[in-house]
Homo-oligomer: A and B are copies of this chain.
Amino acid sequence: MADQLTLGVAARLSRYLQVLTQAKRMGKTSISSQAISEYTNVNPTQIRRDLSGFGKFGKRGVGYDIDTLIAQIRKILRTSGQHNIALFGSGNLGQAIAGSGAFADHGFRVSAMFDVDPDKVGLRIGDLTVRHYSELPIVVENEGIEVGVLAIPAAAAQQVADDLVSSGVKIIFNYSDALLSVPSDVTVHTSSPAVELLYALYFYLS
């Protein structure tokens, strides 16, 4: 399937989605392009142009209904519905991710959690039981895992990435600071909060 959206549009729609989800959580039901602009630093006109390309979602004089707009953007991004993710590592970070609503709010379900430490295997975290790493292939198959999230030390990351690729997973979210090598049809997204901070700091110092 050919890309319909450019990188820029998809990136901005994602940011709108973030703000909309937060606003919804704060109890708001409606929001204007002006308000979205303040939280995203995207020009209000640009926001309306991005959205109007796909339909007329707003009400003049009022703004956009948040629930409607969230649903519409998820439809545009073709990411409606549930997506299953597998979480690797049950340390502090793994538990924090499993316990937060961060993923659940956007349609991601943490369907499995793995560790290699025998002391951790069998542990219940929320409503999940930590499974042994060796079960990876069968779980990916049975649970329909689309995304692997790596909350493990850098030294172990490449091995897990390789095994995920072998099992057919095409999207990896990497919280370690390893530089992962994967086939070109696999997407790796590495979280690096410090680099994002440096970016913010640059504009603050300016």
A179 to B16, CA, bound (A): 12
Known: A193-B191, A203-B187. A92 touches B102 (CB 8 A): no
Please give, as numbers and ranges, the residues of chain B lying within 8 Å of A190 by CB-CB distance: 18, 22
Q: How far is the CB of A22 from chain B (nearest CB, A)?
A: 4
A35: nearest chain-B partner, CB-CB: B179
Q: Which residues 162-206 of A have a CB within 8 angstroms of B? A: 170-171, 173, 177-179, 187, 189-206
A198 and B17 contacting across the interface, CB-CB below 8 Å: yes
A177→B3 contact, CB < 8 A: no
The count of residues in chain A whose C-beta lies closer than 8 Å to any C-beta of chain B is 67
Asked if A5 lies at the interface with its beta carbon under 8 angstroms from chain B, I say yes
Q: Does A10 contact B (CB under 8 A)?
A: yes
- By the criterion CB–CB under 8 Å, are A5 and B202 in contact? yes
A19 at the interface (CB under 8 A from B): yes
Q: Which of A43-51, A93-101, A132-140 contacts B (4 or more CB under 8 A)?
A: A93-101
- Residue contact B15 to A195, C-beta cutoff 8 Å: yes
| Contact of A52 with B by CB under 8 A | no
Q: Do residues B79 and A25 form an inter-chain contact, with CB atoms below 8 A?
A: no
Contact present for B197 and A147 (CB under 8 Å):
yes
Q: How far does the alpha carbon of A112 sit from the alpha carbon of B11 in the complex, in Å?
A: 34
Interface segment, one of A54-62, A103-111, A115-123: A103-111
Within 69-98 of A, Cβ neighbours of B (below 8 Å) are at 74, 77-79, 83, 85, 91-93, 95-97
Minimum CB distance partner of A184 in chain B: B38
Please give me the 8 A-B residue pairs with the lowest Cβ-Cβ distance, nearest first: A22-B179, A92-B96, A106-B194, A93-B96, A14-B199, A18-B195, A3-B206, A92-B95
